[in-house]
Amino acid sequence: MCAVALPLLANDKTVTFNIPPVKIPVSVKDQRITMLASGVITLTAKKQGLNILDLQLNADLSDLQQNMTALLSEQLDKDDHCGDRIAIQNATLTPADPASQAVVQLHYERWACAKVLGRQQAKRIIGGNAVMQMKLTPAVEEDNTELRLIPEVGPIQADGSLGEVLRSGTLGDRLREKIRKAVLSALQKGTDLSATLPPAVQGYAKITNAQFKDAGSGRLLVELDGEIQITNEQIQALSKQVKERVGAK
């Protein structure tokens, strides 16, 4: 899995390290899902005594896709006697290269409480079912180590006046932001460089680009491109650590 023997590493500019798949666990609603991350590191040049390496990482998000309803219900479900009541009925996340498409079906009700003859009574103000769509495009944070998601508002289908509230009020914005944050939290865990990369290059990797990809049959991948700059000693350590990982598989 490592392209060449240790003595050649300092001079060979085509050295390639294949990072074996790493299972990254994420807890969702009292159950654990797994993201599978792997990568390739390629030595491309030398500059001022440092080795310049290209980094390509990808994380398989298919398990996240299968548990989108649980993920969003954990973050959005709400049952406020005198306020919002939200129930996520179904949620999907599908590829839309280089973005992804989230479609969320939910039931929403808003209740208000007032005292009548000394007793508090609840009354439903608005309610119904809705389908919200939004596009999520990955981008790189300024520190070049984490991802962010750029949302794009999509169509909303809803019962009666609920549609107007979701389109023009703050409710729709709040729900979309919670959806974005829930997906982003899981995505960041699945692309955590410290969980995927060998110790020799942790802290030295910078992400330069990110995109979602369709891996076939609707399976969603996130692909990261980046760069690593390390010394000869660190590249020797990297080779050893990659071999140890391969041997442990």
- b/e string for 93-132 if b means 16 or more Cβ within 10 A? bebbeebbbbbbbbebbbbeeeeeeeeeeeeeebebebeb
What are the CA-CA distances from residue 23 to residues 20, 35, 38, 127 (Å)?
A: 10, 6, 9, 41
Structure tokens at 131: 């389908």
For 175-220, the pLDDT digits (tens) are: 999 999 999 999 998 899 999 999 999 999 999 999 999 999 999 9
For 32-78, the pLDDT digits (tens) are: 889 999 999 999 998 888 999 999 999 999 999 999 999 999 999 99
pTM to 2 decimal places: 0.88
* DSSP three-state, residue 240: helix
pLDDT at 30 over 80: no
| Count of H-run helices and E-run strands, the chain | 6, 10
Question: Can you tell me the distance from the alpha carbon of 47 to that of 35, in angstroms, rounded to the nearest whole number?
Answer: 35
DSSP-derived secondary structure for 125-189: EEEEEEEEEEEEEEEE-TTSSSEEEEEEEEEEEESTTHHHHHHHSHHHHHHHHHHHHHHHHHHHH
Judge whether 226 and 196 are in contact, CB under 8 Å: no
Which residue ranges make up each domain of the chain? 6-64+190-248
